[in-house]
Amino acid sequence: MSSTINTSTGNQPVDPYKAKCFEDPPLQQKVEDMVNFITETKFGMLTTQLSDSNLLTSRCMALAGQEHGGIDLIMHTNLFSSKTMDLTVHPSEVNMSFLDPANGSWASISGTASLVADQETVKKYYSPALKAWLGDLGDGVHDGGPEDPRIGVIKLEAKMATYALTRKGMIGRAVETVKSVTKGDVPAINSLRQLTEQELAELASEIISGGIGAELKDRRRQELIDRLDRARSGALGRDPGNADCAQEVWAALWLCPVDKLEEYVTLIEISPGSLAATSLYTTVVSTDIIKPWLTTRTERSVASSVPGTSVGAASPASPSTPTTASPTTPNPRKKRRLDLSLDTTVSRKGWQAMHHNEEGESLSMFWPPSIIEEWKADVFGGSNTELCANRISVSPEAHVYWGKGYFALKPVSMSEDQKSLELEFYWLRPVPRSSTMLLSNKPSLEGSLDCSAEASYLFDVETNSRIRSGHKLRLETDDPVNRPLPSVKLLKLQWALQRLASLSGAAEAIDVLLDSDDEENDDMVRLYDSPEDFCKVDDVFDDNVL
């Protein structure tokens, strides 16, 4: 980082604090660290320009929610208040700042605010605590409830952000400060970071925001899981924190859209012993979702692994296509670069096996109709989902790791001309299989892995370096009509189900059957030794086992 230099300071930085404390870690880390701080702090000062002057004013506001990976902020407002008028006149001169007085960490977010008054959004973020601020006017309408016409939502879309996180504890900061003052230096007690307009614009273009475990960091999701746990613990006569459910249901609750989770929780709160509550122990997530995803996908992989078959996407990923090697392999470049393909979708047969019909009945437990319709449209939309466009060329070993559920691909962004698609690669560490899991047991999806749990690696053939979680892959085509890129909607389906299978421990069903590590055949990787082996998958998903 360069610092401003002028004649009055010689070769010393004008701003020694910034020079000493400024850090520029990877974008995803900067975003996650700031979002975590904001989520924990919760209260901040909203600064707006007064509607009738050039003066600024600040008001203490509580976060009602966060969107777009936590970067965009949601707050409640009285639509007839002065701040609403301020934002109506000056929507682009807005700042929200946060401070932790205990350690000095802070954040400042500037952006554009919008006012939302539609009932769907208001109900989505409504909190009963609003009644204390709005009161009940006694007319049966202005009662502080979710349908009170005074309630609106402020959405602050971040355009730039600066924040500082304390590096040391109270004693450490005091010691560092004294030492620095003695030496005429400035203390390096903070990590000062910035999210530029360009970086936030890049995030805004993402198809899916956040890292591999973005859903797990959602404060609203955590609150809903806690509510669910309290409702079920009470119904079971247990202390809070002791309610359980089937492992695959647990995984789905932590990954599904938060709005769908809220519907689910509300049903169980109303009637803790209802059919909805009983569904916490259902096996349909395994039998009707995960099993068809794993088995129909690998069944087609068997067919695509025949010698001489090489199916690729419109263009290989750049800057390189992954290859693999063990730690003792002298030169991964000698591996065959393109042999097989990852099938990023599910066939029509697989979709029907997944739901018994075309409507997605099992998925509807955890995903809203709008998302299911998107997936269904691409599966049943008249185009052949098993065409080359929905396959990504990889090395034979990467193909096997895909079948084993060792990694998932997150769709990040698609260019406006549909000629370039960016993906992110993430290693998965399967959760050990268990019949039940505590609702309060928060899953872990690590975002900094460089290999599988079995120490299997993938390498970038251009740099000869290990491919780590977060590694970017770019697919390109010169003709999006005749040689289209993979369907983004089906990549989203893959992203959801691949992680669901991993957290459910269901990937073990495939892993125990695949034994390709001992086969030294670069021309063909067979996922099963015989048709009988494929049939054994059904045994792993037997209701008695799950």
Q: What is the CATH number of the domain that holds 144?
A: 2.30.110.10
pLDDT value, residue 171: 64
pLDDT value, residue 394: 75
pLDDT value, residue 350: 58
CA 462 to chain centre: 28
Show which of 181, 203, 225 is a domain's final residue: 203
Asked if residue 96 and residue 32 are part of one domain, the reply reads yes
Q: Are 168 and 179 in contact (CB under 8 A)?
A: no
In whole angstroms, give the CA distance from residue 345 to residue 376.
11
Asked if residue 32 and residue 125 are part of one domain, the reply reads yes
CA 194 to chain centre: 22
Query: Is 322 part of any domain?
Result: yes
pLDDT value, residue 344: 58
Query: Is 11 part of any domain?
Result: no
Amino acid 343 reads: D
Amino acid 354 reads: M
Asked if residue 146 and residue 93 are part of one domain, the reply reads yes
pTM: 0.59
DSSP string for 136-204: --SSSSSSSSTT-TTEEEEEEEEEEEEEEEE-S-HHHHHHHHHHHHHHT-----EEEEEE-HHHHHHHH
Q: Are 410 and 422 in contact (CB under 8 A)?
A: no
pLDDT value, residue 121: 85
In whole angstroms, give the CA distance from residue 429 to residue 212.
12
Q: Are 493 and 345 in contact (CB under 8 A)?
A: yes
Asked if residue 184 and residue 247 are part of one domain, the reply reads no
Asked if residue 152 and residue 115 are part of one domain, the reply reads yes
At 35, is the secondary structure helix, strand, or coil? Answer: helix
Query: Is 423 part of any domain?
Result: yes
Asked if residue 522 and residue 477 are part of one domain, the reply reads yes
Helical axes 291-304 vs 396-403, angle rounded to 10°? 160
pLDDT value, residue 509: 53
* Domain range for 480: 280-433+442-540
Q: Are 411 and 472 in contact (CB under 8 A)?
A: no
Asked if residue 327 and residue 242 are part of one domain, the reply reads no
In whole angstroms, give the CA distance from residue 90 to residue 109.
16
pLDDT value, residue 142: 93
Query: Is 162 part of any domain?
Result: yes
Query: Is 209 part of any domain?
Result: no
How is residue 314 written in tokens?
Answer: 């419109």
Asked if residue 531 and residue 389 are part of one domain, the reply reads yes
Other beta carbons less than 10 A from residue 402's beta carbon? 24
Show which of 178, 203, 228 is a domain's final residue: 203
Query: Is 37 part of any domain?
Result: yes
Show which of 154, 176, 203 is a domain's final residue: 203
Query: Is 131 part of any domain?
Result: yes
pLDDT value, residue 253: 94
In whole angstroms, give the CA distance from residue 30 to residue 70.
12
Residue ranges of alpha helices (H) inside 22-169 are 27-41, 82-89, 119-125, 130-134
In whole angstroms, give the CA distance from residue 259 to residue 276.
16
Asked if residue 265 and residue 397 are part of one domain, the reply reads no
pLDDT value, residue 144: 92
Residue ranges of alpha helices (H) inside 52-139 are 82-89, 119-125, 130-134
pLDDT value, residue 355: 52
Asked if residue 177 and residue 291 are part of one domain, the reply reads no
* DSSP secondary structure letter of residue 433: P
Asked if residue 197 and residue 88 are part of one domain, the reply reads yes
In whole angstroms, give the CA distance from residue 281 to residue 287.
13
Number of domains making up the chain: 3
Asked if residue 285 and residue 269 are part of one domain, the reply reads no
> Per-residue confidence of the chain (546 residues) as pLDDT tens digits?
455 545 565 666 677 777 777 888 888 778 888 988 998 899 999 999 999 888 999 999 999 988 877 889 999 999 999 999 999 898 888 999 999 998 889 999 999 999 998 888 888 889 899 999 899 999 999 999 999 999 999 999 999 999 999 876 666 666 666 666 676 666 666 889 999 998 888 777 667 777 888 888 887 889 899 999 999 998 888 998 999 999 999 999 999 988 889 888 988 888 877 767 888 998 888 888 888 887 755 554 444 433 332 323 333 344 344 444 433 343 443 333 333 455 555 555 555 555 554 445 678 888 887 777 777 777 665 445 455 556 777 778 888 888 778 899 999 888 878 899 999 999 998 888 888 999 999 998 988 888 888 888 888 887 888 899 988 888 888 988 888 888 888 888 889 999 999 999 876 655 544 443 334 333 323 333 333 333 343 443 443 333
Q: Which helix H or strand E contains 533, and what residues bound it? A: helix 531-540
Query: Is 177 part of any domain?
Result: yes
Q: Are 294 and 506 in contact (CB under 8 A)?
A: yes
pLDDT value, residue 62: 94
